[in-house]
Amino acid sequence: MNKELSLQSYWITSTPQTDYPFLQEDVAVDVAIVGGGMVGITAAWLLKKDGLKVAVIEADRIIQGTTGYTTAKITSQHTLIYDKLKNQQGEEKARQYAKANETAIRFIADLIQEKQIDCDFSWQPSYVYTQSEQYVEKIAKEAEVASGLGIRASYLEELPLPFPVKAAVRFDNQAQFHPRKYLLALSKEIPGQDSYIFEQTRAMDIQPGNPSIILTNRKKKVTAQKVIIASHYPFYDRRGLYFARIFTDRAYVLAAKIKEHFPGGMYINAEQPTRSLRSLPTENGELVMFIGDHHKTGQGENTIHHYENLKSFAQEIYTVEDIPYRWSTQDCMTLDGVPYIGHLTSFTPNLYVATGFGKWGMTNSTASAMILRDLIVKGENPWSPVYDPSRFTPMASAKNFIMENFDVAEKFIAGKIAVWPEDVEINRGEGKIMEIDGQRVGAYRDEEGKLHLVDTTCTHLGCELQWNAAEKSWDCPCHGSRYTYEGNIVEGPTTKPLTKIPYHTT
């Protein structure tokens, strides 16, 4: 694998960085949206179009979180979901899910055409395939159920890929695009007329009410009649118990130049390990994205191996000439594979949430923006029942989990100075978990030789972090918070950095 291989996503490196202001004074709006990804930008655009004053609050820069690391498939085909959903929640809710995602595809396509957004949009068929006999019947059933729900789905036994398959289901009228080019165009229409985008402004807490008040790290407040929590993993979780209903999952992407012709289309297998492919048009010619090797965040052993596995897969089926990009992405997964979209809890009528998109955020996040717009403006939406966040009763043990873990994150090594062991060596670019003076410590030596020590207790709910060698980050295996080797926040739900540990040598 190339030593100079980019660790950033193509979507981010191929587009300009934004420079919206941070929150400098208290503001009041109709709707405040925490999170500047696809949900936040789309919802803000829709709500402003309906005449409401909105504010998007983003901890970093907009469209640089999960949306900036997506695989960017605009599809209603979410592996084998429709037969499962019909069996679990009934045909009507399966139809709601299908209609929501099919409508989201058309919404994106129509908006791109209306505004003439140059974002590499193209219509593509989407396929789920299998090389295992045990999935053949499941794929045939998926094609049958999806067709019955109004999706143009068909059963196949061959694909235009350089390996044989046992069966496949094809969805027509699906698409792919460049998500940042699309959303950057929409974001430009949000500020003005008492509406705002605030970057470098982290929401720290919410005081719910009528209106609600969002407290930020800038010591300034945003007051709003309605609040949408679109921060990927909900940063605010009072009485919602989302931590007990969501887990985070990482997957990996290589963007490679191949010698052969790629036939077009978007492909994903039904079995494990996951292997997915789609084309990627760039200024320097077409690349192919090889996607997969997912695992729960913080539980991927040596994460560099996942890139190597994808590289081996690519080389088995194509002649790989170059791999100019690689990146990984983190998704929130729900208990039944359907996102939570709607009121945060039944006790918070002015707080809304959109989370748990799994691997299918482009259509589900667009659908969520439309659902939340309708709930705020009209009070109802025809698709909302299937996405209702209150559809589950949390596990009885969740209360005990909170009580046992609530104050763990406060137990850090405050005021201590660690003594670095003489017999331990850490190479440049290497991270390790160690025990120093009886404490669990994360150690990393940077390329200049400087050693960085941090407390590895996650500041969210106190889980112990694991080292991610590929991204050089400390990752939480419980709820997906991630930190730099210096302890700064990469992504939430945490709102506090790790404690840095001073040290000296003997």
CATH code assigned at 433:
2.102.10.10
- Three-state helix/strand/coil letters over 45-57: HHHHHCCCCEEEE
High-pLDDT (> 90) share of the chain, %: 67
Position 428 scores a pLDDT of 84
DSSP for 177-236 reads: --HHHHHHHHHTTSSBTTBEEE-S--EEEEE-SSSEEEEETTS-EEEEEEEEE-SSS-S-
Asked whether residue 439 is domain-assigned, the answer is yes
Q: Which residues pair with 156 in a beta bridge?
A: 168
DSSP for 92-111 reads: HHHHHHHHHHHHHHHHHHHH
CATH number at residue 83: 3.30.9.10
Calculate mean pLDDT across residues 191-215: 97
Same domain for 308 and 457, yes or no, is no
CATH number at residue 203: 3.50.50.60
What token pair was written down for 70? Answer: 């997506």
Asked whether residue 395 is domain-assigned, the answer is no
**CA-to-CA separations, 196 to 2, 30, 51, 205, 466, in angstroms, rounded:** 42, 11, 14, 19, 37
Q: Which of 316, 334, 352 is a domain's end point?
A: 334
Q: What is the pLDDT of residues 284-335, one digit of tens each?
A: 999 999 999 877 766 656 668 889 999 999 999 999 999 999 998 888 899 8
For the CA atoms of 405, 408, 410, 414, what is the dihedral angle to 10 degrees? Answer: -170
Calculate mean pLDDT across residues 470-477: 81
Calculate mean pLDDT across residues 356-368: 95
Q: What is the pLDDT of residues 226-251, one digit of tens each?
A: 999 999 889 998 778 888 788 888 89
pLDDT at 56 over 90: yes
Amino acid at 472: K
- Selected residue with higher pLDDT from 86 and 506: 86
pTM above 0.75, yes or no: yes
Calculate mean pLDDT across residues 266-294: 95
State the chain's mean pLDDT as an integer: 88
Number of independent structural domains in the chain: 3
Same domain for 249 and 154, yes or no, is yes
Asked whether residue 372 is domain-assigned, the answer is yes
DSSP for 334-382 reads: ESSS--EEEES-TT-TTEEEEE--TT-HHHHHHHHHHHHHHHHHTS--T
| 96 pLDDT tier (thresholds 50, 70, 90) | very high
Same domain for 51 and 200, yes or no, is yes
Asked whether residue 2 is domain-assigned, the answer is no
Same domain for 88 and 166, yes or no, is yes
Structural domain range at position 480: 408-505
| 483 pLDDT tier (thresholds 50, 70, 90) | confident
Q: Which of 334, 353, 378 is a domain's end point?
A: 334
Position 335 scores a pLDDT of 86
Same domain for 291 and 239, yes or no, is no
Position 410 scores a pLDDT of 35
Calculate mean pLDDT across residues 442-450: 84
Q: Which of 317, 334, 351 is a domain's end point?
A: 334
d(CA 218, CA 149): 48
Residue 31 parent element (H or E)? strand 27-34
Same domain for 83 and 60, yes or no, is no
Asked whether residue 396 is domain-assigned, the answer is no
Same domain for 416 and 487, yes or no, is yes
Residue 346, phi then psi, degrees to nearest 5: -70, -10
Position 407 scores a pLDDT of 34
Calculate mean pLDDT across residues 172-178: 98
- Selected residue with higher pLDDT from 401 and 30: 30
Same domain for 136 and 253, yes or no, is yes
Calculate mean pLDDT across residues 206-211: 95
Amino acid at 353: V
**CB contact at 8 A, 96 and 386:** yes
| 457 pLDDT tier (thresholds 50, 70, 90) | confident
Q: What is the pLDDT of residues 129-161, one digit of tens each?
A: 999 999 999 999 999 999 999 999 999 999 999
Closest CA to 94 of 499, 380, 383, 395: 383
Calculate mean pLDDT across residues 193-219: 96
**Using CB atoms within 10 A of its CB, is residue 401 exposed (0-12), middle (13-18) or buried (19+)?**
middle
- What contacts 489, CB < 8 A, 6 or more positions away? 59, 202, 481, 482, 483, 495, 496, 497
Q: What is the largest CA-CA distance in the chain?
A: 72
How many other C-beta atoms lie within 10 A of the C-beta of residue 496? Answer: 18
- Selected residue with higher pLDDT from 416 and 216: 216
Q: What is the pLDDT of residues 3-22, one digit of tens each?
A: 444 578 999 999 999 999 99
Position 411 scores a pLDDT of 31
Position 402 scores a pLDDT of 40
pLDDT at 258 over 90: yes
| 438 pLDDT tier (thresholds 50, 70, 90) | low
d(CA 139, CA 33): 39
Position 297 scores a pLDDT of 66
**Using CB atoms within 10 A of its CB, is residue 159 exposed (0-12), middle (13-18) or buried (19+)?**
middle
What token pair was written down for 201? Answer: 């402004």
Position 6 scores a pLDDT of 53
Position 399 scores a pLDDT of 40
Same domain for 125 and 192, yes or no, is no
* Start-to-end Cα distance in the chain: 40
Same domain for 272 and 222, yes or no, is no
Closest CA to 358 of 383, 342, 340: 340
pLDDT at 98 over 60: yes
Asked whether residue 8 is domain-assigned, the answer is no
Same domain for 239 and 265, yes or no, is no
Same domain for 420 and 484, yes or no, is yes
